[in-house]
Amino acid sequence: MTAAQSGARGPRRLYVFSPMPPQRNGLADYLMAYLPRLAAEHEVWVVAASDQASAVQAARPAAAPWRVLDEAGFRARQPDPEALVLYNLGNNSDCVYMLDHLPGCRGAVLLHDISLFYLHQLAAEQGWMGTLMDGWLADDGHAVPRAFVRRDGSLARTPGLLYQECLMLRRLLQDAPGVLVHTRYAEGRLLGAVPSLPLARLTRLPHFVAPAEPLPPARVAEVLARHGVTEEARLLLVPGFLTGNKMLYEILAAFRQVQAEGLPLQLLFAGEERPDEYALSRRIADWWPTGGGPTVTGYLNAQALDVLLARADLSLVLRYPTYGESSGILPRAALGGARVLTVDIGAYPEFSSPLVTPLRVGAWLVDSLVGAMRALAAEPPLSPAERQARQQAEVDRQAALSPAALYPALRDWLHRCAAELGR
């Protein structure tokens, strides 16, 4: 609602549940791209998790046109019949706190991952799901064998996590005034999990594509030097959080093979490692005990990651198994101007660019990666002018997916959500 539309009562109050800086989370980055625009048309209160509220408040820019509220402060203001609630929901630990509010406080849901498997697992570990799930299954007409149920009604053993996930999505979304997803893949899977969701409440809006901000040459040189990227390096880059499903083993196996052939390639894992999911550094140390293997950068801020993406000769954005919806890192990798390899499953093939090649997932993947690495080594390196031309062409190609271009559709979706609630 614009100021003119809101009339005498002023801009609509909008409570936003989302990870926020300084949390290291792509959902925080996503929201920050839209938050100034939302705050220009709404009275925005960001509702942070109780254990994060102080850090989020401290990281808020002094002149930011939104305010920060903790969970207790939000509850104290309810019911707020003139306000709208927006949940920026994804499949990670920073979103578990939203489960305490979603069932009882109807709001628009911006759903980034169609599978909430990890969120489901975390919620179960924290005790949120246990005593609820038996009742949910019973309400759904599913007879739970008593061997699966403890005396307190919680599940001792699961009859199927996938079925539980569908129940979780249904309980969280069936009363939402609107649900926004990014892809056709997510739309189809969501309607399969929540067939009672009215089509009029489901909206598809692509994930935005945001070109990197230009940096001074000295800053670029500093980032490259810090991570050992020389001017002559042929750089293979694996960008983003290094989670267990990023096919890290296959990448290592392919690189070790081409390195044994003497091909002059450098492999850099550009992100924060999660050793409880895949002990990447330990595997590298085992396979390259005397050194000379790939390196892991650790966590990178957005600027440093964009520098490396703009320097890469080949970026690897792989993920399997996945029921995830989309990847913000995939368009960022293409904007760097390098060739990009991704997977042919989920929503990944929906991102269209001549720089991006989907690979079939299967036992042959290592051979496919080896072939791509060999092809890269046989090609002449890109000149700075060629790389810049590729980058600009990709920016032009994805212009319709900029945050500025997509925001009017996001705003209109929020208006429809408010109308559904009679606000």
Q: Could you tell me if 407 and 396 lie in one domain?
A: no
Q: Could you tell me if 193 and 272 lie in one domain?
A: no
Q: Could you tell me if 33 and 101 lie in one domain?
A: yes
Which pLDDT belongs to residue 128?
Answer: 57
Q: Could you tell me if 226 and 289 lie in one domain?
A: yes
Q: Could you tell me if 204 and 298 lie in one domain?
A: no
pTM of the model: 0.83
CA distance 211 to 336: 9
Mean pLDDT score, 300-323: 90
The number of distinct structural domains making up the chain is 2
Range list of H helices, 288-353: 302-311, 329-335
How does strand 84-89 pair with strand 12-17?
A: parallel
Strands, DSSP E only, in 225-324?
235-239, 266-270, 295-296, 314-317
Question: Mind listing the pLDDT tens digit for each residue in 171-228?
Answer: 889 899 999 999 998 898 888 778 888 999 999 999 998 888 889 999 999 999 999 9
Q: Could you tell me if 99 and 26 lie in one domain?
A: yes
pLDDT over 90 at 110, yes or no: yes
Q: Could you tell me if 307 and 346 lie in one domain?
A: yes
- Number of Cβ within 10 Å of residue 37's Cβ equals 15
* Continuous segment of H or E residues that includes residue 412: helix 403-420
Asked if residues 271 and 299 have their Cβ atoms less than 8 Å apart, the reply is: yes
For residue 216, cis peptide bond before it (omega within 30 degrees of 0): no
Which pLDDT belongs to residue 1?
Answer: 43
Q: Could you tell me if 375 and 322 lie in one domain?
A: yes
Mean pLDDT score, 229-252: 93
In angstroms, what CA-CA distances link 315 with 125, 232, 357?
Answer: 35, 17, 11
Which pLDDT belongs to residue 32?
Answer: 94
Q: 384: domain range?
A: 217-400
Which pLDDT belongs to residue 6?
Answer: 46
pLDDT over 50 at 88, yes or no: yes
Question: Mind listing the pLDDT tens digit for each residue in 144-179?
Answer: 555 556 666 666 555 455 556 677 788 889 899 999
For residue 5, name the pLDDT band (cuts at 50, 70, 90): very low
Asked if residues 250 and 363 have their Cβ atoms less than 8 Å apart, the reply is: no
Q: What average pLDDT does the chain have?
A: 88
CA distance 82 to 104: 17
Strands, DSSP E only, in 293-349?
295-296, 314-317, 339-343
Q: Could you tell me if 38 and 150 lie in one domain?
A: yes
Residue 414: which CATH number? 3.40.50.2000
Q: Could you tell me if 173 and 246 lie in one domain?
A: no
At which residue do the structure tokens 């983003």 appear? 240
Which pLDDT belongs to residue 8?
Answer: 47
Which pLDDT belongs to residue 193?
Answer: 79
Q: Could you tell me if 166 and 293 lie in one domain?
A: no
Q: Could you tell me if 396 and 406 lie in one domain?
A: no
For residue 320, name the pLDDT band (cuts at 50, 70, 90): confident
Mean pLDDT score, 72-94: 93
